[in-house]
Structure 1
Amino acid sequence: MLSAARKLATSRCLSSQWVNKSVSRTLINGLHPRQSTSFGQSRRSYNSQDVSATSEKETIVKLLYNIGSRKEVEQYLRHFSSVESQKFAVIKVGGAVLTDELETLASALTFLNRVGLYPIVLHGAGPQLNRLLDDAGVEPQYEEGIRITDPQTLEIARKVFLAENLKLVDALERHGTRARPIPGGVFVADYLDKDKYGFVGKIKGVNKEVIESSIRAGTLPILTSLAETPDGQILNVNADVAAAELATVLEPLKIVFLNEKNGLYHGVTGKKIDVINLDEEYEDLLKEPWVRYGTKLKINQCKELLDGLPRSSSVAIISAGHLHKELFTDSGAGTLIRRGHKLFKYDQLDQVDPDKLRRIMEAEDNTIKSGQSSVASYLRELQQKRQVNIYTDEPGQVLAVVTSDPADPSQPAVLEKLLASKTAVLNNVPDNLWNTIRKDHDVLTWRVDAKEVEGNLDRSWHFERADGSLRNPKDGSTMFFYGVQDSNKVKETLDVFNGGANPVKAPSGSRAYSTFGYQQRRGFASAAAGSKKNIGLIGARGFTGKELINIINNHPNMNLTHVSSRELEGKPLEGYTKSDLTYVNLKPDDLKAQEQVDAWVLALPNGVCTPFVHQVEKDVKAGDSKDKVLIDLSADYRFDDTWTYGLPEFNRSNLHNASRISNPGCYATGAQMSLRPLLPFLDKLSAPTVFGVSGYSGAGTKPSPKNDPAVLHDNLLPYTLTGHIHEREVSHQLGTKVNFIPHVAAWFQGISLTVNVPLAKPMTSRDIKSAFEEFYQDEKLVHVLDQGEPYVRDNAGKHFVRIGGFNVHPEGRRAVIVTNLDNLLKGAATQTVQNLNLALGFDEYAGIPIE
């Protein structure tokens, strides 16, 4: 009941990739300089002398494209730049943030300023004040939660606020951002109750000119919450209260409260609350027994504040390090609190105002706007449906129509129409709508017509909300579904989509979007919510074993119960916090006694794991043990077609409930990622060549020249230049010959692959890039760069693959792609967890940090 999930946009870590310059210039020129209607002049001059500043701003905008989709970023940049500078955002910074996250905060504010935005920053200093009062022997006194401020406390408070104010300004200046310290002069106040609270103020007015002057000068205004009476007496005001008063006067788009917790948390589940829609949830929320004390106070404060602001305003509770993601992506990062809109559900067409339906359909329905259909004909058609649910909001900015057949409850409901205005998308109303639909319909199918023009929803919107999808090769449309658990039912549903009885109709207004074939997004997770599975790791000493232990340690549904290593036997396992484990030395015949284990991961050298596999199968056949999931990280079973090859991006449907999985090699993963989208375009007479360079962790822990830093210093070491096992693996899996030339370099982890691809017909770099974008458009662990080549250092420690380059020879018959991945993570441990998740019935990405 607590909040619809916000749109899950592509979450990417920052890199220095470039984007289309014309787009960047358009955004920058639209953002800066900007004429302020209240100032009557531009904030800064912008001419040919500003080349370096322009370049920097373009780069920052390009970086934004990596934390969310381009459409999201452009949307929010335009949204934020559509108002006067002082109406962008008020950011309240807690005192603890200034102590613990000063550099992170300064960097985040600098980031915003580089795209021409001027947040108004107001900070507190509570922890610092308490510390100095304690040093001075002054015990803080509170009355009804308000700090009593006597003369001594006020004297110390003034010094603390000034010091913290200058500290933040200095930090911003070190980052190259001009900032103006404003410790006073903004808030006019009277005594709240002098006899009761002492020098505590109640704000009566805000001097906006002080803030506007700072922005006119091109500096960020940095405020404290100290106020003054008309006759000049300094008064102390709670920083949250001061921020709310400031927001009431300025009416900004965003009010941001920075805290170290990165949001509000559910008092029972402990999970972060993504969104609170006050109009829809407030009353029920306050009835929850866990909503009390600080949480209740904060929600009430936000409700009181937002009730007096335009509906476009919202509150975000977030940490400093996630500020840019909260502001520029639909998925956000902290807790978003907004008024939202009340949603209404109707079970009969005559219950709905037809003029309301007509307005949104004429504005947002592509079939109506193009003249293919009329509103009247659609409504007449809708009247013939046996059961109809119509969802809309108060102002008529969203509309969904779901139909079902009560005579045949086995058939899934169908989403026929989904419309949303741009304003609704900016305020995340479709998320709230979708949450309501999910509550009412456990199983749903919908179709997106490939011929439709782009709608207002983000291009990944449908894929993020579906369990699976299928592209119809005949017309390019895509059918989506969720909640279909039985594999036979999935097949039946897909058959209907491909032309069987009662084919699924495409919802009008939805965005065209296609995939290469059926994609099983979450493995039809069948494990019960909150269920746990036990994992045993054999071969835990190596680098991959350590990375796997780290991921399982943070996995919500997996526990590590056994770690086996001959060399470390008897020693305690370090870095695993769920329980105390000691290394053991398991032999094959020891496995049948470990009945609590649900899956064994065999992280052993090539040629070593077969006895373990044979023993498990022998024990199962004899009835001495239940069958277990076995995942082999060696090459022993990668050529055995009775085992499932564990590259989820290409083999998701087969991995669901698989019991024997061969984990791909690290080089083989990157090579296949580089070549799979181009298989239809390969020159059959000339094989692709993969030039690979790996960090020395890929050579394992056993000493050799390939993992000796002294040998590798200032060196690049080629090895096994023909017939490498990964060459055979990639050729076997792709069904075409591939040449592979491996090298090892002096860095520790990370792989770079430069892939030369002969083409069967002339193509352009845009053709190549488009093929990759479409192929991987819904993959969370594959990032296709807009421009430029990926760097090894940018992927070390990351769980995703980054693909770029996309150069084509002038003759158009040879393409070059560059792919980077971490050999220990996506090349090994991360991929193992993907496979475990799918085999055990969990969400494919459970436990894997996506960012």
Structure 2
Amino acid sequence: MNVGIVGSTGYGGIELYRLLANHPYTDKCILYTSSQGGNLYSDVYPHLNGLMDEPLENADEAEGIDVMFLAAPPGVSAELTPSLMNKGCKVIDLSGDLRLKAPGDYEKWYQRKPAAKELIGEAVYGLTEINRERIADTNILSNPGCYPTASLLGLAPLVLRHRIEPASIIIDAKSGISGAGRKAGLGTHYSELNENFKVYKIAEHQHTPEIEQQLGIWMKEPVRISFTPHLVPMTRGIMATMYVQLSESVSTETLLESYQSFYEDAPFVRIRKPGTYPQTKEVAGSNFCDIGLKVDERTGRVVIASVIDNLMKGAAGQAVQNYNVMNGWDERAGLKLVPMYP
């Protein structure tokens, strides 16, 4: 395969390059940009000196690509995807352009004009563990957002196998700063965020409708959740802590067994033993999602903790996992990475 990365100068793009440069089925990885055409990639990222000294190319000149990864800001994929498809290129979009099926939702939450209705309808939502069969047959894939990945993987077995109160779902999520991207901004300035912990976009984060859309598909009814994101002073990682009211009595042990069986064929989801809970550092640099849970018998709620590396399972790692499934390869190809520790 010859692959390309649009948005290669961002954090998602450089993480994609790290994975694809070592992928067993990738022959060539061509890097595209809309802002730094002609510059050497090693000038943008000096740690690649001697490893990748090729110049960046302009995205509208892409030719001879089998699969294009779009790791660009919102709006870019909606414009580029039709022309890429006309060139016979498969597309894996890491932005939110193709995730929301109702165009009105995209316009409301992203404050942008949505992609063409036909394009949105054709795109398959790439939550790999849940959607493998459809992913294997698509040429347009919409990679899930980082917060939705951690949240939905943590909720899926509970929602699909047990009785809960849909209106009770609360998701309290924390992310490392790299989730905000590489562009400088006051909100991620070192002196603003160091030794600080802040909430943001209360009741207005653009990942809310994405989570609700998938939960609604699973529950076969509209779902409304409370989703609150926070920034913590670390580079990588997301922890989503979820609170759900049970409508039937179930023990922690029974739930853990249910989660284990649900994910028995999912190589990147690890369920913790009773009484142990995941930490973001334990998945750093890997494509794992680690999940722990406990039933609070006093309140009738279950508390679920789900952790991922936001740049890996929350972006580039999951995109490569979907790239593997789309091409009929072992979904672990290029992703057999032991987490970095400490």
Q: Is the structural similarity TM-score above 0.5? A: yes
The residue number in structure 2 matching 1:638 is 99
Q: Distance in 2 between matches of 1:761 and 1:724?
A: 31
Q: Which amino acid aligns with 2:32?
A: S
- Partner secondary structure for residue 797 of structure 1: coil
Q: Give the CA deviation at 1:559.
A: 3.0
What does 1:381-780 align with in structure 2 at a 5 Å threshold?
Answer: 533-574=1-42, 575=48, 581-587=54-60, 590-591=61-62, 594=63, 596-617=64-85, 620=86, 625=87, 627-639=88-100, 640-679=120-159, 680-684=161-165, 686-735=167-216, 736-780=223-267
What does 1:153-552 align with in structure 2 at a 5 Å threshold?
Answer: 533-552=1-20
* Conserved 8 A contact 1:764-1:812: no
Q: Distance in 2 between matches of 1:576 and 1:554?
A: 16
* Conserved 8 A contact 2:198-2:230: yes
Q: Give the CA deviation at 1:765.
A: 1.2
- Alignment partner of 1:789 is 2:277: yes
- Partner secondary structure for residue 81 of structure 2: helix
Where has structure 1 moved over 4 Å in runs of 4 or more?
576-580
Q: Distance in 1 between matches of 2:208 and 2:130?
A: 18
Q: Distance in 2 between matches of 1:771 and 1:842?
A: 28
Q: Which amino acid aligns with 1:573?
A: Y
The structure with the largest alpha-carbon Rg is: 1
Tell which has more relative contact order, 1 or 2 (C-alpha 8 A, sep 6+): 2
The residue number in structure 1 matching 2:115 is none
* Conserved 8 A contact 2:239-2:306: yes
TM-score with structure 2 length normalisation?
Answer: 0.84
- Partner secondary structure for residue 725 of structure 1: coil
* Conserved 8 A contact 2:41-2:52: no
Aligned-pair RMSD on alpha carbons?
1.8
- Partner secondary structure for residue 41 of structure 2: coil
Q: Give the CA deviation at 1:633.
A: 0.5
Number of equivalences: 306
TM-score with structure 1 length normalisation?
Answer: 0.35
**807 and 681 in structure 1: CA distance in 2 versus 1, 3 angstrom threshold:** same
* Conserved 8 A contact 1:780-1:850: no
Identity over aligned pairs, percent: 31
* Conserved 8 A contact 2:94-2:142: yes
Q: Give the CA deviation at 1:701.
A: 1.2
Which consecutive unaligned segments of at least 5 residues does structure 2 have? Answer: 43-47, 101-119, 217-222
- Kindly provide the CA deviation profile for residues 360-386 of structure 1, in whole angstroms up to 9, marking residues without a partner as x: xxxxxxxxxxxxxxxxxxxxxxxxxxx
Q: Give the CA deviation at 1:666.
A: 0.6
The residue number in structure 1 matching 2:314 is 827
* Conserved 8 A contact 2:37-2:57: yes
* Conserved 8 A contact 1:656-1:841: yes
The residue number in structure 2 matching 1:802 is 290
* Conserved 8 A contact 1:552-1:558: yes
- Kindly provide the CA deviation profile for residues 463-520 of structure 1, in whole angstroms up to 9, marking residues without a partner as x: xxxxxxxxxxxxxxxxxxxxxxxxxxxxxxxxxxxxxxxxxxxxxxxxxxxxxxxxxx
Q: Distance in 2 between matches of 1:558 and 1:706?
A: 37
The residue number in structure 2 matching 1:814 is 301
* Conserved 8 A contact 1:690-1:741: yes
* Conserved 8 A contact 1:756-1:814: yes
Q: Give the CA deviation at 1:580.
A: 5.2
Q: Distance in 1 between matches of 2:167 and 2:191?
A: 38
Q: Distance in 2 between matches of 1:721 and 1:704?
A: 19
Q: Give the CA deviation at 1:577.
A: 7.6
